[in-house]
Structure 1
């Protein structure tokens, strides 16, 4: 993939925009606006963390060879940092967990969700050596 192809394919996370949807219990969910269909309505949700974490995950890279891992990490960190910055600006009163998962044998994934009361975070990062967690508002 060329540099321009990468920018075009991942513009939605490099320059993130978000939208919110409330469920039938008035919980407000935050979603990354992507090329996929927009979620317009949500009924009652048993696992709010699961819903947001599933919908808000982006596969940046597949397997990355040793020669390119340093560059891949730099790009992934920059994109993650920008995502965090935008979440802080657009949702200053919300708390978030943001994960960067760099398993170069298989994937590089960014994922985020709100910190929901009475629900554990999506990952227990102590169980995964490839995942770095960033928290916002906590």
Structure 2
């Protein structure tokens, strides 16, 4: 596609093995918008049967170096199991949820045959100050 205001995700894909410590591989599509969306990022996760985005936490003070990200998930297709905190919830197409800072989150495909496709909006927050300014 020639340069213009419409972008294609065909060039912005990567396969992550054991994403966030989860089993299998996840195809991630990045929508970069030439950096115009910062501090927000948009992604599509395609999680095949048997794979998962492993449970992880984004802390407000970024103590583990993964970024102080809030995440907003929307299931496009498929069925999965979403972890929020210590609870796990079944999710399917049309379901959405917010994973705030300091809360564990993860997502696994729960279907034996269909890919779980999820739109993920990630918002980077300024790391909280942990000491006197």
Q: TM-score, normalised by structure 1?
A: 0.28
Which structure has more strand as a fraction of its residues?
Answer: 2
Which structure has more helix as a fraction of its residues?
Answer: 1
Q: TM-score, normalised by structure 2?
A: 0.29
